[in-house]
Structure 1
Amino acid sequence: MNTLTVLDLPTSTPPSQAETNSASPGPSLAIHHPHPRREDDQNPRSEHEAMAARSFPIRSPKEQESNAAVREAVLLGAKSAAIAGTVVAVPTLVGCRYLPWAKANLNYTAQALIISAACVAGFFITADKTILRNARQNTIGKLDKST
């Protein structure tokens, strides 16, 4: 198995044998930085890198409400998925047992896909409706406060 060694080298100097991993056989790959640092640079990082490195511990005051809304959507979606799965599973399994076409053409994988598709659709439709309802209520609440 060939291993690749990634080196961050300046563009002017080729890698020496000591810099590459001589213990691993195979080719080595040197990746060069697109904007090499100059000696006169005062700030080694760009502004974007500096912003990305910062952490912002201040949380939004609405974050707890948002988490509660997501939890509500997941709970309602799970209930809907369980109901949809049960409603679809009974006729699917009964049909595969008694209908000749279904018995001949729907194997266990097809039955599982039919039932799981109903569960997934029920979950996502209900969760989406719940999140949109909560967003609509928040928007209406903001509009009522502004007038």
Structure 2
Amino acid sequence: EARLKIEQLEEQEGKGASSSSSSSTAANGGGTRPPTRAAAAQSRRPPEPSSSKDTNDPPPHLGTWEMDRDSSDFLALDDELRSNLRREKSKRLAEVRQQMRFILDTDDVAGSRGKWKCCGREEYLGGEGCGGRR
């Protein structure tokens, strides 16, 4: 079901690329369909600063938040589908990290993987070392 929904969204994007201005009007609630939750969130002004800080409250701005189309399309999906897509994303990212693990971030030996022959520790830096003791 999730894959079908993704394919439908991709088809809509393909069709919407030639008429992006009309599709963005519809995405913002200005078309013939009623505004979505994403469109409502997109046009919402940020709340006034308060003494209790909520992590979802953005810092104060003079304008409104303009959400990317991909984000608004994602938020328009039902809760279960969004949850499934997030799980799939986490799973795929973990697979890619494992597959790409051999590519080091820098040429510095300290960033490499391995172990000390003397004590078996797997961290190049850190700790006090073993002083040659096993």
With the length of structure 2 as denominator, give the TM-score of the two structures. 0.21
Structure holding more helix per residue: 1
Which has the bigger relative contact order, CA under 8 A and spacing at least 6?
1
With the length of structure 1 as denominator, give the TM-score of the two structures. 0.19
Structure holding more strand per residue: 1
